[in-house]
Every structure is written in structure tokens, then in C-alpha cells.
Amino acid sequence: MGRWDRIQRALSFPWAPFLQRHRPIPGGAACVMIAVLEEIVMSTATVAEVQTSGVRLHVPGPIVSPDWVAHHLNHPTLCLLDVRAQESYDEGHIPGAVWVDLAAFDEIQNGVPGMLVPPELFTHAMSRLGVDQGQAVVIYDDNWGLPAARLLWALARYGHANAAVLTGGSDRWVEEGGPWTPDRFVASPADFVVQPEDGHLAERDWLRAWIGHPALVLLDTRAPGEYAQGHIPGAICWDWINGVPAGSWDTCRPAGELLAELTQLGVTADKEIVTYCRSGVRAAHTYLLLRSLGYPHVRLYDGSWLEWSRYQGGENGGGPVDDTY
């Protein structure tokens, strides 16, 4: 690109920050003006190159820190999804974040509420949010990653592995001085393509066939009182809140503590692990926790207790219920 071409290109970029640095410009000092214009071009070239080079951002794991998000906040392939209540989003959010109505991803199936929507509806909802396969998705909430984990699991189930939950959510982000804005961001529609990954999902028939197998570990992530009233046979009671650190906004306790505790319960990486709760939300948090610890075989039973208890003993072939603690 020649000198004059660079000057012409520079005319489309904001002048103020650069002119303020070079004032005063002597009258008739054309060479200084050219230097200013060239600096504008060179200073914006890096951004333009990133936008057009096709360089994609990849999350380092299923949980990311505020520092990581802040460092990549302006990356063109970062997609931030805010799953808090809409009024919370309207009061303020991370710049560039899109508000997500989680109700768009759940439906009633065969009388069971809270089930993940089928592929065509998921595709439509994600495309409206501006999500496609080329983006690194980071989801955040204000509840220790609980609702964010549910959406992360849904993305994994439908083939988008490049996604993470922001540890500490909006609370830690604000506490650490991250940028915050009330300005609503509307994403450009994208073309999300579903590629189902069955290894993240446990369905009722699959689970019935596996119950009692020595390679299966079934984690009931409800409260002990719920577990005592009835649970899937062989399930281990491990309340999801056990994974959350006391006095912190973070999504999970330190990895070393969790691994020691889970190993003692027989939850080891060589097993096929299934998490469930009442409706698949708390179980999603434990799913996220296990994936972040490096467990390679973790599924979520989407129907969870609402489905299992509805069909147990019925004509549709439900599963047995254990009411012993």
C-alpha cells in the first residue's frame, strides 16, 4: 500500500485521539499531517488484520477467569452470553454481552418440563444470538455458574465445545473492576450448525440399561433431604453446592480438594459418570465441575428426577426408585 493510499484509508478512522497527541500542528506542516494520518492507519491495522485474518479464539477450558475474558474482550470471535434476569442485564453488563432468555432452550416433552429443546429450535435460538461454530462462547450469571452451566452443557450436547463459564460471574467481574455498561448489545444473526454429541447426554432408556454396571457412577446432586425421599438405585448423594467455595463468587472449589473428595466417593476418571438432580440444572453445575477437573466421560441425565419418578413402574418402562438413604 502506497503512502497516498494509506492516507485515503485513514480518512475513515476516528481522528480525535491521534490529533490530541500531536497538537499543535504548525500551519502548512503537511509532512506532520501525513505522519499523523499514517499513524492512524498503522494503529488501526492490527485490529483490521485480526478481523480479517480468520484467527479464532479458543477457551483454555470449560471455566475461564475474569482476567482471561478482560484480555480477550475485544477479540472478534469472542461471544459473551449473559444468562441473568433481564432486569439485571438492563442495569449493567459486560460490554458486548448478549442477553439470553434461557426459556428459549427448555420445553415440556412427554409431560416432563425443563427438557432441552430439539436441534432445530436450538439452532434457531443460537443463530439469533449471533453464535456460530467459529466463536469462543463465554457464559456468565450471578449464581455461581448454575444457569450458565446448563447452557454450556447444551452447547456441548449440540457440538459446540469451544465454550466456557466465567468463574465468579458478574459479581466477581464487577468486584475486580471489569468494564460495565447499560448499553444493550444486539448481535448480528449467525448460522449455528448443530452437530449432536451423544457422549454428553444420558437418556432414560440408556440409563436403565446401565444401572448396576460397575463402570457407572450415578451422582444425585440434589439436597440430602430430596435424596432421602427417593432416588435412582445406586446413586451417590453429592449436593451440587458441595462444589462451591464458601465466601467466594467462584464457580468451583480448588481442584485438589474436589478431586480428593470425589475420589473417596468412588468418582474416578475411569468411570462413566452421570449427574442428575430434579430437572437438570443443578446437575449441569456438577457436570461442568467434573469436566473442568478433567473427567473425560461425564453425561447429564436431562430428564433427571422429574422424568425418572414420572415413569417408574409405569407402562412406558420407567426405572425403579430407591427410598433408602
The secondary structure of 230-295 as a DSSP string is -B-TT-EE--GGGGSPTT---SS--HHHHHHHHHHTT--TTSEEEEE-SSSSHHHHHHHHHHHTT-
Q: Which residue has the higher pLDDT, 55 or 162?
A: 162
| Grid cell locating 80 | 459473551
Mean pLDDT to the nearest integer, 85-113? 97
- CA pseudo-torsion sign 168, 174, 175, 176: positive
| Confidence at residue 6, expressed as pLDDT on a 0 to 100 scale | 36
The grid cell for 119 is 436441534
Spatial distance between the Cα atoms of 154 and 160, rounded to a whole number of angstroms: 9
- CB 66 within 8 Å of CB 250: no
Report residue 9's pLDDT band, with 50, 70 and 90 as the boundaries. very low
Could you read off the pLDDT of 238-284 as tens digits, one per residue?
999 999 999 999 999 999 999 999 999 999 999 999 999 999 999 99
Band (pLDDT 50/70/90 cuts) for residue 312 is: confident
Residue carrying the nine cell digits 482471561: 68
Percent of the chain with pLDDT over 70: 79
| pLDDT value of position 32 | 39
Percent of the chain's residues with pLDDT above 90: 78
At residue 321, the pLDDT reads: 61
| Span of 36-50, 55-69, 164-178, 218-232 with lowest mean pLDDT | 36-50
φ and ψ at 110, to 5 degrees?
55, 40
Residue 30: exposed, middle, or buried by beta-carbon count in 10 A (0-12, 13-18, 19+)? exposed
> What value does the mean pLDDT take over residues 71-97?
98
Average confidence (pLDDT) over 118-147: 97
C-alpha cell at 113: 418440563
Average of per-residue pLDDT across 97-110? 97
Residue 116 has pLDDT above 90, yes or no: yes
Across the range 133-146, mean pLDDT stands at 97
Q: Sorting pLDDT into bands at 50, 70 and 90, what band is 96?
A: very high
What's the CA gap between 56 and 162, in Å, rounded?
A: 10
* Common-topology check for domains 63-196 and 199-311: yes
Q: How far is it, in rounded angstroms, from Cα 157 to Cα 135?
A: 16
Taking alpha carbons only, the member of 164, 149, 154, 185 closest to residue 57 is 164
Confidence label for 311 from pLDDT (cuts 50, 70 and 90): confident
Which residue in the block uniquely carries the three cell numbers 478481523? 51
Question: Could you give the C-alpha distances from 161 to 60, 245, 251, in angstroms and in order?
Answer: 11, 26, 19
Given a cut of 50, whether residue 48 has pLDDT beyond it is no
Q: So where are the chain's domains?
A: 3-53, 63-196, 199-311
pLDDT for residue 54? 56
Amino acid at 15: W
Q: Supply the pLDDT for residue 7.
A: 35
Answer for the pair 73, 96: CB distance below 8 angstroms, yes or no: yes
Average pLDDT over residues 169-173: 98
DSSP for 151-209 reads HHHHHHHTT--SEEEETTHHHHHHHTT---B-----PPP--------GGGEE-HHHHHH
Mean pLDDT of the chain: 86
Quote the pLDDT of residue 322: 59
**Which of 3.40.250.10, 3.40.190.80, 3.40.1160.10, 3.40.50.300 is the CATH number of 63-196?**
3.40.250.10
**pLDDT at site 250:** 97
Is pLDDT at 317 greater than 60 in this prediction? no
* 19 compared with 294, residue with greater pLDDT: 294
**Hunting for cell 442477553 — which residue is that?**
99
What pLDDT is stored for residue 315 in this prediction?
Answer: 34
Dmax over CA atoms of the chain, in Å, equals 91
Q: What end-to-end distance do the CA atoms of the chain give, in Å?
A: 74
d(CA 146, CA 167) in angstroms, rounded, equals 11
Overall average pLDDT of the 216-233 stretch: 97
CATH pick for 199-311 out of 3.30.1330.10, 3.30.70.60, 3.40.250.10, 3.30.9.80: 3.40.250.10
**Mean pLDDT across 142-164:** 98
Look at residue 55 in the predicted model and tell me its pLDDT. Answer: 87
Which residues, 6 or more positions from 249, have their beta carbon under 8 angstroms from its beta carbon?
A: 144, 167, 168, 169, 171, 172, 175
Residue 277 annotated to the active site: yes
Q: Express each pLDDT in 280-308 by its tens digit.
A: 999 999 999 999 999 999 999 999 999 99
